[in-house]
Amino acid sequence: MTRTLAALMTLLATGIAGAAEPKVEIVGHRGASFDAPENTVAAIKLAWEQKADASEFDIYLTKDGKLVVIHDATTKRTAGTDLKVADSTLKELRELDAGKWKGAKWAGEKLPTLDEMLATVPDGKRVFIEVKCGPEAVPEMDRVIKASKLKPEQTCVIAFNADVIAATKRACPDLQSLWLVSLSGKKPKTAEELIAKAKEIKADGLDLSATPAVLDAAFGKKVKDAGLKLYVWTVDDVELAKKMIAAGAESITTNKPGWLREQLAK
């Protein structure tokens, strides 16, 4: 009787623990960017330590055709020196310090290359590569991804530029690619408009701003019924995260992956 009761309690405890896990993918925005300098190797490694399911980062094509990880078109905000990425060589960009702006402990962090970021991804995790430039980056991105150790399902490509998504699906049809769209503004696009465009560019889904005034359960159902994935960004508020999950979001990008996972598990 005692053994039976103990076994039952263990089973219940396991079920409760399993139920507590967030039923949504948690994605580190530019790595664990609340705690570490965004878009650096340190930030993405911290995202893995914080048990993020995936991590997002941004890429630009350099003057010499390499892919460097940075959000802005220039290096001013995160590296101090004001260089335009597209007009600079990788060597010039790598001479900058992309960490000290976040604090002395991060001094010496470099602007990473795409291959350096992909090399950090553990088994069972994946990355979201946001292409910040145009379709010209796709051939080099395809080359680097294929040269990495990652399986196709571990890499997702996202972009606001619909032409980038269309080019990615032509060059890398086995990679999941999602169209980024902001729903903020006076006249956001309707679900029907977004679905039509996503189908046109052969996107696998939509990655939308977490805008509850627009993105509700009815909106989410239309997207899902169209056979498209529904992901959202950038959520650092647990109540907003819950609203997005209720609307049908399968994946949430956040600056605080560890914190958000803990809050959703309560």
**62-91 as b/e, with b when 16 or more CB fall inside 10 Å?**
beeebbbbbbeebbeebbeeebebeebebe
pTM: 0.92
Q: Is residue 15 part of a domain?
A: no
CA–CA distance, 5 with 51 (Å, rounded to integer): 33
Q: Please report whether residue 107 resides in a domain.
A: no
Residue 109 forms part of a structural domain: no
Take residue 93 and report the two structure tokens written for it.
């960009």
108 assigned to some structural domain:
no
Cβ–Cβ < 8 Å for 231, 251: yes
Written as tens digits, the pLDDT of the chain (266 aa) is 444 444 444 444 444 444 456 789 999 999 999 999 999 999 999 999 999 999 999 999 999 999 999 999 999 999 999 999 999 999 999 999 999 999 999 999 999 999 999 999 999 999 999 999 999 999 999 999 999 999 999 999 999 999 999 999 999 999 999 999 999 999 999 999 999 999 999 999 999 999 999 999 999 999 999 999 999 999 999 999 999 999 999 999 999 999 999 999 99
Q: Which residues pair with 159 in a beta bridge?
A: 179
**CATH code of 38's domain:** 3.20.20.190
Determine, yes or no, domain membership for 95: no
- Give the H/E segment covering residue 79: helix 76-79
Reduced to 3 states, what is the DSSP secondary structure of residue 263? helix
Q: Looking at this protein, which amino acid is placed at residue 71?
A: H
Instruction: With respect to residue 98, please indicate whether it lies within any of the assigned structural domains.
Output: no
Domain for residue 246, yes or no?
yes
Q: How far is CA 221 from the centre of its chain?
A: 22
Closest to 154 in 3D by CA, of 248, 31, 53, 32: 53
Residue 100 forms part of a structural domain: no
Domain range spanning residue 254? Answer: 24-71+115-264
d(CA 57, CA 29): 7
**Which residues are CB-contacts of 101 (< 8 A; sequence separation ≥ 6)?**
37, 77, 78, 79, 80
Choosing from 24, 26, 29, 179, the catalytic residue is 29
Q: Hey, CA dihedral for 68, 71, 73, 75, is it positive or negative? A: negative
| Residue 71 designated active-site | yes
Report the domain count for the chain: 1
Question: Catalytic pick from 22, 45, 63, 71?
Answer: 71
